[in-house]
Chain A
Amino acid sequence: MPPTPCSLCHTARALVKRPKTGQQVCKDCFFEVFETEVHNTIVEGKGIFERGEKVAIGASGGKDSTVLAHVLSVLNKRYHYGLDLFLLSIDEGITGYRDDSLETVKQNQIEYGLPLKILSYNELYGWTMDKIVEQVGRRNNCTFCGVFRRQALDRGAAQLGVDHIVTGHNADDIAETVLMNIMRGDIARLGRCTAVTTQSEDTIKRSKPFKYAYEKEIVMYAYFKKLTYFSTECIYSPDAYRGHARVFLKDLEAIRPSAIVDIIHSGESFQLEQSVQKGMKAMQTCLRCGYISSNDLCKACALLEGLEAGLDRSALRQTQANSSNAPTGHRTIPMFERYSNVGASQPAEGIEKAVQAIEIK
Chain B
Amino acid sequence: MSTSDDIITTSNGLGYTSSSAAHPESLVKPPQAPSAGEDTIEIKIEFGGGLHLLFSSQPSHKIHIPRNIPNDDNTATQPVNMRYLVKWMKSNLLSEREEMFGDGDGVRPGILVLINDADWELEGELEYELRDRDEIVFISTLHGG
Q: Which residues of A contact B (CB under 8 A)?
A: 1, 3-4, 13-17, 24, 28-29, 31-32, 60, 62-65, 70, 73-74, 77-78, 100, 103-104, 111-112, 168-170, 173, 215-216, 218-220, 222-234, 237, 246-247, 250-251, 253-254, 358-361
Contacts and interface: CB of A to CB of B under 8 A. Distances in A.
A358 to B, nearest CB: 7
Q: What band does the interface of chain B fall in when counting residues whose beta carbon is under 8 Å from A?
A: 35 or more
Nearest to A246: B142
A229 to B, nearest CB: 5
16 contacts: A1-B122, A1-B128, A16-B119, A24-B122, A62-B144, A63-B15, A74-B5, A100-B20, A111-B7, A112-B7, A170-B145, A216-B141, A228-B11, A229-B15, A234-B144, A254-B109
A240 to B, nearest CB: 11
Interface string B50-87: 10010000000000000000000000000000000000
Nearest to B111: A250
Contacts of A253: 109
A224 B112 CA distance: 13
A222 B137 CA distance: 14
Contacts of B110: 246, 250
Contacts of A358: 7
A100 to B, nearest CB: 6
B50 A232 contact: yes
B141 A100 contact: no
Interface string B88-118: 0000000000000000000011101010011
Nearest to A257: B121
A315 B133 CA distance: 57
A359 B8 contact: yes
B23 interface: no
Given A17-B122, A358-B7, A224 B13 contact: yes
Contact of B121 (A17, A77, A218): A17
